[in-house]
Amino acid sequence: MGSRKVQGEFWGQNPKDWAKIQEPTGDSGYKHALQFLNMNSTQTLLDVGCGTGYFCDLAARQNINVTGIDASKNLIEQAKKRNSKIEFSVGEMEELPYSNNSFNVVCGFNSFQYAENLKNALLDAKRVLKENGKLVAMIWGNKEDCEAVSCIKALGSLLPPPPPGARGPFALSENQLLEETLEEVGFKIISNCDIESVWNYPNSEIALKGLLSAGPAAKAIEHKGIETVYQTVKESLKPHTKNNGQVTYNNKWRVVICEK
């Protein structure tokens, strides 16, 4: 059960590019969550789908006792290089390898939408939370608020047909599915904010390295080949490229915080 086998295979094909270029694009959402949570050194936090540990490192720098887990071995190896003092593990988000009531906070930044079964993933996050613990879920904002949708569409045109019932990247945002499922499994939503996120790349080559380091890009490359994917995504950058060569996307992250 779960998405580890599928997602772990595609994420982490270019862990250094993800760590240096793309993972930091979530910075405004990460900082919003940390400010809202206002945690102290006696509290524990689990980051589900932690990637290369960018958020975990931010939290650790605030003396929070943080643990990270991700489906990708390559991303976890990179996370350990980022901060060797943090406990990182490879694992399944729908079957977390932690005891009941272990953490004060569980976070999932751009990760819960990749669960094979969203409800199962949220229920297991709830299981490992302490009483009155908080869950943070960050997903895309509405499609019309995210200029990076042009890149997502370009990649989507190169992917194999999705299986019946598969959700797109904005499914949890557009129809309030995330909020509905959170409440269905027993969480109480205490904050729901759309956070501005400006992605600035100094040039198209760096933009391509960052954008093509994501899991869906790796899947598209496997299906259509690197040259086709590279040229298709490069063409999609043009409307977002300034005269000086800088590539900019204005996006929004939706950060939903709830309580057990």
The C-alpha angle with vertex 108 and arms to 164 and 9, in degrees rounded to 5, equals 55
Closest CA to 89 of 111, 119, 69: 69
- Measured CA to CA, the distance from residue 112 to residue 186 in angstroms comes to 17
Strand partners, 88: 68
- Measured CA to CA, the distance from residue 43 to residue 65 in angstroms comes to 6
- Measured CA to CA, the distance from residue 138 to residue 173 in angstroms comes to 10
Residue 8: the pLDDT is: 58
Burial 18-39 (b: 16+ CB within 10 A, else e): bbbbbbbbbbbbbebbbeebeb
Q: Could you tell me which residues come within 8 angstroms of residue 197 by beta carbon, excluding any fewer than 6 positions away? A: 25, 26, 27, 28, 29, 250, 251, 252, 253
CA atoms within 13 A on the CB side of 21: 21
User: What's the gap between Cα 76 and its chain centre?
Assistant: 14
Residue 2: the pLDDT is: 57
Looking at residue 51, the DSSP 8-state letter turns out to be: T
pTM to 2 decimal places: 0.94
Across 97-244, the runs of DSSP E, i.e. the strands, are: 103-109, 129-140, 188-201
Residue 234: the pLDDT is: 97
- Measured CA to CA, the distance from residue 82 to residue 47 in angstroms comes to 15
Tell me the helices (H) and strands (E) count for the chain, helix number first.
12, 7
**pLDDT per residue as tens, the chain (260 positions):** 556 666 757 788 899 999 999 999 999 999 999 999 999 999 999 999 999 999 999 999 999 999 999 999 999 999 999 999 999 999 999 999 999 999 999 999 999 999 999 999 999 999 999 999 999 999 999 999 999 999 999 999 998 887 666 677 888 998 899 999 999 999 999 999 999 999 999 999 999 999 999 988 999 999 999 999 999 999 999 999 999 999 999 999 999 999 99
Structural domains of the chain in order of their starting residue, each with its CATH number: 4-146+165-200+251-259 (3.40.50.150)
- Measured CA to CA, the distance from residue 214 to residue 151 in angstroms comes to 12
